Amino acid sequence: MPPTPCELGFRMPAEWEPHRGTWLSWPHKEASWPGRFGPVPPIFARMVRHLAEHEEVHINVSGAEMEQDVRRLLADRRANGQRVHFHYHPTNDAWCRDHGPIFIQREVDHHREEAILDWDYNAWGGKYPPFDLDDVIPTRIGQEYGIPVFSPKMVLEGGSIDVNGRGTLLTTEACLLNPNRNPGLGRAEIESTLRDNLGVSHILWLGDGIAGDDTDGHVDDLTRFVNSSTVVTVVEEDPADENYEPLQENLERLSGMTDESGRPLRVVRLPMPRALHHEGQRLPASYANFYIANGVVLLPAYDPERDEQARLTLQSLFPDREVIAIDCTDLVWGLGAFHCVSQQWPALR
């Protein structure tokens, strides 16, 4: 058996560690935002403008025609085009957190090396075929840059895990133990694969996800590390809301959890926006779906009164970054927000 990434010294850095850049897959599948696709590319463009002030932005597009369309939109939004890079990697959809490359790093002779994990991808349990183009994105990026690629041979989406960069990983039973992902694997086998590939030693399991989440409970709509020993977790205050009980259960689980050194986690509460519906469908609007970049945190906004409470909470936790709230009521009609569409590329410091 070849050595695992963990045996070779690799680990997945935390999202707040320095970035080289951010990967996006430009939105083009109108069926993901039926009847409301029009506002979505401008939201992406605004996201790019803020990111490009602080780091590179790498965008997967289908080819030269899409690149030119996106360049015009970015110019209209005054994005820094010098930091935006286009890659002709066609995709099925825009959810780069889940189909994009997960970068891992190791220290060798006082310098860092990187590799890419290319997990199997089946569009959240086969819900939205086809997904063949998305499934090969990590390997295509590895080939383009000459970065080694490991294939763990397990279905996993980036939004289903969150790491503190020190050895602890957060995930949910609702997603990772769902038989529509890896029906032949039990909890022990899944944990072993996570340890072998992500360089983690301590795995924390939450329960169910939020209402409206078609990913079967991704942790990036629930609970996120903001430093190695602190998490923020969304809490619903209305007992009549369908999110109240599962979020209370997750809060109770977190109260008994520790980091990899056995220290209790510091747990900070984030509000939930008031219930958001479109055409009778509950949308998975959550303030936990923020994205941490160099110098900035992008916070999805849905509810003016509660948006500011969430922004101030995150600002207190990221004093060296500007927390920017951007309206995502149209973006979340596609059932995801900023974290779902982005994937960090850690810097080789």
Active site residues: 340
- Phi/psi for 344 (5° steps) reads -75, 145
User: With contact defined as beta carbons under 8 Å apart, do 10 and 199 qualify?
Assistant: yes
- Cβ–Cβ under 8 Å, residues 226 and 317: yes
- Tokens (6 digits) for 157: 């989406």
Distance CA 60, CA 68 (A): 13
Cβ–Cβ contacts within 10 Å for residue 276, how many? 19
Rounded Cα distance, 73 and 77, in Å: 6
Beta-carbon contacts of 249 under 8 Å, excluding residues fewer than 6 positions away, are 207, 208
Q: How far apart are CA 202 and CA 211, in angstroms?
A: 28
Cα 224 to its chain centre, rounded Å, is 10
